[in-house]
Amino acid sequence: MRRQQRPRARNQRVSSFRQRRQQHLLDVKVRSRKAVQHRNRKFLVVFSKIALVVALIAALYVGGRVAAKRFFIDNPDYKLSAIEVQTDGTLQREQILSVADLHEGENIFRVNLARVHQRLQELPQVDEVEIIRKLPAEIDIRIVERKPIAWITSEKQIADPFASDVAFLVDARGVLMKEKKLLPEYLGLPLILGCASESLEAGKTVQSPEAKSALELLRLSTRSFMQTRFQIREIDVSKAYCLIVTDKNHSRVTFGFDNLDTQLQRLEQFLIYSDDAHRELATVNLVVQRNIPVTFQKPAAEVINETVKPEESPRVMKAIALNAPPKPVAATPTPKPKRPKPTPTATARPRPTPTATPTPTPMKRGLLQPFFKKN
């Protein structure tokens, strides 16, 4: 009789643990081999794409260089044949081309415009630079030079800034310049004296507060009224706490470093008062805010009278002849010999004493002429 089998549970495994383990190991080996093959195939695909892109880029680069050299670099149509230079100052064309290292005949594409711009901007006289490349063979250079507004020196007194080696030109931004070609209008520029707190050198910018205050004063004094009435000639900054300004009329005005605009407004009131009173300012101290000390110059007539003082009694000048004849020397008279007196004798008669006859009074002819005319 056949044994009757038990019914198997619904969640009971058919294979044993060992069978399942062996089956899992075989499955892992198959999967890992397939993963390696898939990864290698993917890497080859990516590498081939990158290599293809690199090869295309290299081909384009090499082809571009060859084409650029053939059509642009070695093309005689692009040789630099014209260099136009425009400037509003004293810089010469030869000096600009030498600093920029530009030469006619070189290829226009070999010119590094950024380098040329940097070299020209380093010149102390240059304020702005514009460089334009015009194909096929022209380069335009436009330069705006700095406009000097004053002379500056570390000396307290200087006779001629033109001939001095320690005097520099300075613009409104404080950049120092040493011009090779001096123009006549530079001689009339104001002079900033006594700036010894910093080393003056062409191309540098002044940093001292007194020099900056002097430049600010020059900028503010260019207003309509002050420019015609108060023309600055010298600014002495050697005191290090104030500015002593001398104008064209030799008036000395003392300014402080702060609130220059307010001080100029006070000075403008003094100038208007002096014009109305027909008197010229001598000294003004604007550092003081209240009770400002002011002195006026003496009138011209008073100065002349003090210079030439008349004498109390006029002197009588006697003219002396240049070739006066010599005075005759008086001869010494020789004494006459004395005659002996005669001795009276008996027979000699005494001489009679002469009586004095009255002399008639002479009459003037002028008194007698009318009498004769009447008769």
Per-residue confidence (pLDDT) for residue 232, from 0 to 100: 94
Q: What is the pLDDT of residue 310?
A: 57
**Residue 256 structure tokens:** 């402080």
Strands 148-153 and 176-177: unpaired
10 Å Cβ neighbour count for 170?
Answer: 25
Q: pLDDT tens-digit profile of 237-253?
A: 999 899 999 999 999 99
- Percentages of the chain per state (helix, strand, coil), in multiples of 5: 35, 15, 45
**Structure confidence at residue 21 (pLDDT):** 64
Residue type, 305: N
Contact 253, 297 (CB under 8 A): no
Give CA–CA dist 117/100, Å, rounded.
8
- Dihedral (C-alpha) 225, 226, 229, 235: value to the nearest 10 degrees? -170
Do the beta carbons of residue 280 and residue 297 sit within 8 Å? yes
> DSSP letters of 255-270?
E-SS-HHHHHHHHHHH
The helix/strand/coil state of 362 is: coil
- Which segments in the chain show pLDDT lower than 70? 1-31, 224, 300-375
In angstroms, the CA 6 to CA 196 distance is 119
Residues contacting residue 199 through CB under 8 Å, at least 6 positions apart: none
| Host H or E run for residue 84 | strand 82-87
Tokens of 340: 């002996």
Query: What tokens appear for 146 in the block?
Result: 């700095």
Strand order from edge to edge, sheet including 294-296? 176-177, 167-171, 148-153, 191-193, 232-236, 243-247, 252-255, 281-285, 294-296
Neighbours of 217 (CB within 10 A): 22
| pLDDT for the residue numbered 17 | 63
- Can you spell out the DSSP letters for 177-216? E--SS--GGGGGS-EEE---SS---TT-B---HHHHHHHH
Which residues lie below 8 Å from residue 168, measured CB to CB, with a gap of 6+?
151, 152, 153, 176, 177, 178, 200, 202
Q: Give the residue from 84, 86, 82, 83 showing the smallest Cα distance to 142.
A: 86
Beta-carbon count within 10 A of 273 CB: 13
> Is pTM, for the whole model, over 0.75?
no
Would you say 173 and 183 are in contact if contact means Cβ atoms under 8 Å apart?
no
pLDDT of residue 4: 55
Burial of 25-57, coded b for 16+ CB within 10 Å and e otherwise, reads eeeeeeeeeeeeeeeeeeeeeeeeeeeeeeeee
DSSP notation for 89-112: SS--HHHHHHHHT--TTSBGGG--
Contact 214, 208 (CB under 8 A): no
Do 114 and 56 contact (CB within 8 A), yes or no? Answer: no
